Every structure is written in C-alpha cells, then in structure tokens.
Amino acid sequence: MKVGIIGAGVAGLASAVRMACRGHEVEVWERNTYPGGKLSEFHLGDFRFDAGPSLFTMPKYVEALFELAGESPKEHFEYDRLEVVCKYFWEDGTKLSAYANPEKFSAELENKIGVPKNVLDEILRDSQRKYDIAGEIFLEKSLHKVSTWLQPKIIKAMMMIPTLDLFTSMHKVNSRLSDHPKIIQLLNRYATYNGSNPYRAPGLLTVIPHFEYNVGAFVPKGGMNQITRSIFELAKRKRVRFNFGKGAQEIIVKDGRAKGIKIDDRTISYDKVISNMDIFSTYKRLMPKVKHPERTLSQERSSSAVIFYWGVRKAFPALDVHNIFFSEDYKAEFDAMSAGSIFDDPTVYINITKKYVPDDAPNDCENWFVMINAPYNNGQDWDTLINNARQSIKEKLNRILDINLDELIVEEALLDPRTIESRTSSHQGALYGSSSNNKMAAFMRHANFSSRIKDLYFCGGSVHPGGGIPLCMLSAKIVDEIIHE
C-alpha cells in the first residue's frame, strides 16, 4: 500500500517505521523544517536545549521499533537509568531525593520527613496492581473496537473496576495512601503528566508512579532529541520519504474514504492516510467539509505550559536532571489554572540535561529548562501573565537556592501556549489534547481510526491512549494493528 502520514512528531515517526516494516511505501509531510514536533531541540549561543518533553520512561516502546526492523536497539539508541528520579524542594527548607531504588527512597522519606518505610511500599504496590489489572490492556489496545472488549483479560479487568479508584479523585486516593501533606503533594503532581488536575482527575491515574519507580526513569545519551533522531534515522533506513516545510492543506475524502492529501494545491493519492496532527486541527483545518465529532472535539483541553530556557553561568551540584520546587498551596495553583490564570506561587520544574550531557552547556554553566503548568490558551493577556510568572519563578528560586538569577542568566528563550499552538498545531496550546479530569476521559478520547471515513487513522497525544512519549508510541502501534487486523 501507499501510506501518507501527516506530521513528523514522535508518533508520526513511529507510524512511518511500522508501516515501512510492513513493506508499504510511506511518505511523511511535515510543515516544520525538522522532525519531532514537541520532541525537538535548539541552541542558544553555547547552550543546547530539548524543546519539549524531558522525562523518558518505558524505553521498551522505542526499542520495539528497532527490533521490528530487525536491528539491535543498542547499536542506534542508548540511554541510562537515573539513580535519582527527581529532587524535591519546599519553601520550609525540606529537600528530598526521590531515589529510583525504592529502599533508598523509603529511607530518605523516613529520615527527612518521618514517613514510615512501609508507606512507599504500599503506594508502589497499589500503583503496580492497577497497572497489572488494566494498564497494558487499556493502553495498548483500541478501546473503540468490539474485538478488544471480547478478550478475557478485558472482561476480567472490567470486573475489577471497583478496585481501580476510577470513581474517586486522584487526590483522595493519595490522601488515603498517606496522611503526610508532602507525600500527598508529591503524588498529586503525577496528574500533570497528562495535563490534568489531581483534585478532579480519576484515581486510576495513581498508576503513573509505577512507571517511574517500578520500571524506571531514563535519560537518552545525547539528550531527549536522540529519541527523535534515532527513530527518524531508522525510518530513513527503511526508505520512508520525508517532506519538510510542506504542510498538508486538506485530507481528500471521497465516497466515504480518505483518498489522499492536498499539498501545495496538488493532490497526492494514498491508500491509507494517518494524521499525527492534533485531532481538533485535523478535522477543523484539513477536513472542514466532513461531519465533525463535535462532542469529542469540545472536551475540556488539557493544561499547557510556560517554559523559560535559561543559559545559566553557574553549576549547581545540589540540583539533578529533574527538580521540582513546590508551591505552598497546590490546590490554589490548580484552581487558578481552572480559572484560566497562573497562580502567583507556581510549582517550578527545572530540567538540566547538562548533568548527563556535558556538551549541552559550557564549563561551570548549566542549561535550565524551567517550566510551570499553565492553562490552555483562551485569549488571556499572556504577556502580563508571563511577566508576572517570570518574576515569581525567579523570586522562588532565589529564596530556596540562595542565589540572584538576574546575575546568572546569560541566554533566554520562551515557549508559551500561543507558540505551542502555532508551532505544533496543538489546539489552544494544550499539551495533551483533552484533559483527564473526567472519570470517563480515557473512553472519550478520539479513536485511532475514523468510524465515518474509511482508510483514515490517527496517532499522537491528542487521541487514544493519550499524551507523553510512551503513549504516543503506543498510538502508532494501535494504528498499525487496526490497519492490518
């Protein structure tokens, strides 16, 4: 078959590899001049930055592509497991190192904040139990195919739904697992991994810590962009054709089938069309004349982000690859986002790849990827919000680290909901498509295929199973299986 793919984000790249490994003729169209979408890189002076996702879990989904192609993953893509998943900082001076080794992390919690060692064990057991029951099934299979629901594993999982905390909030589950406010706050932050609010998102999301601690958090050698680079090079070895700086104008639909893609006012015919573009933009921009699934497209958007890329002329031994500086009032922070604003004391995340990639910054300098959660773009006065946030972030970091950032920042760039939307076609700058603030959110995401238009398929973070690198990779796997079932 001849397969046309719209978008060279990580899911589009994975789809290209899978289609090529099936022996199909594959062509990818990308309006940007580079692959990867959000998972790309850029330079500021002597500093290199990963532009988007900074956390890498479940590397087996990347390795699966090389194995599918008959190649050894280790020859093309290398990574290390982090000894410290994240460092946490609070205004009262508390500092925690979240060791990847649960025993060490348990000891850290007991020594630093007096949490009994068995608490973390119970948290991780609960997280793994939920994954074992439902994770693999609901993440790796289409929820929109009858064949999925007839599998014995699915039937068993459905019988276990009352034990999966689907009908209570993530915050309530975390409060049940521990009564320590700092542990609750630490666990609540995992809701942000798919752009959701822990006080509204279903308790099933407490499955997320399983990925970081029971499986591991990793860092690719060369930085996160090596994920993009390695899959891109694999696709080229499989003879996938890439067209950069060429955005799709329209998906050609005739007699209920996707027939091709319009590029530069010319139509190119394909047997199958796969869109890695945000699902909202796919319908609204590329198929304006077909009937849209308005209920799906009108779902609440996920959160977005404001990211400052700072080249800092100082090394900070107390910081690691991943660092969190918590807000004093976490609920108020999410309430502000729900109201379309940014809290005046936001939780600050700092990613520093220089810790593992020495060439990412000059000697005695660091490349800081500084991110706060932000609402999706709904016409706010972003210039004012961003200026205020920048000041709040600097004041917070100055207090906790006892520094003066105004004297240390030598390079700076900005990414906000407006530029996220313009660069990646993510509707309203939402990082993960729709939010998971509804107990049925997983079932309400758009399917990986069109029920109305044959030969049209969808991958990426805005469709099932969701956002983040592992889930985007799985969306490509699901599309592959649907096309060839």
Residue matched to tokens 């706010």:
380
Task: Give the pLDDT score at 138.
Answer: 79
What average pLDDT values come out for the chain (485 residues) when binned by 10 residues?
98 98 98 96 97 94 98 96 97 97 96 96 96 84 81 79 90 97 98 95 94 94 96 98 97 98 97 98 96 92 97 98 98 98 98 96 98 98 98 98 98 98 95 86 85 97 94 97 94
Q: What pLDDT is attached to residue 352?
A: 98
Q: Is the pTM of this model over 0.85?
A: yes
- Round to whole Å and give the CA distance between 237 and 231: 10
CB 286 within 8 Å of CB 260: no
| List of E strands, 111-265 | 217-220, 241-244, 250-254, 257-263
Strands (E), 255-397: 257-263, 266-269, 272-275, 304-312, 322-325, 348-351, 366-374
Nearest Cα to Cα of residue 54 among 303, 224, 215, 231:
224
Query: Are β-strands 366-374 and 456-458 bridged in parallel, bridged antiparallel, or unpaired?
Result: unpaired
Q: DSSP letter at 449?
A: B
Structural domains of the chain, with CATH:
2-42+57-80+221-298+436-484 (3.50.50.60)
| pLDDT at position 436 | 86
Sequence letter at residue 168? T
Q: Residue 319 in contact with residue 352, Cβ under 8 Å?
A: yes
Neighbours of 349 (CB within 10 A): 21
H or E stretch covering 481: helix 469-484
Question: Quick count: other Cβ atoms within 10 Å of Cβ 351?
Answer: 25
Predicted local distance difference test score (pLDDT) of residue 442: 62
Residue 23 CB contacts under 8 Å (≥ 6 apart), including other chains: none
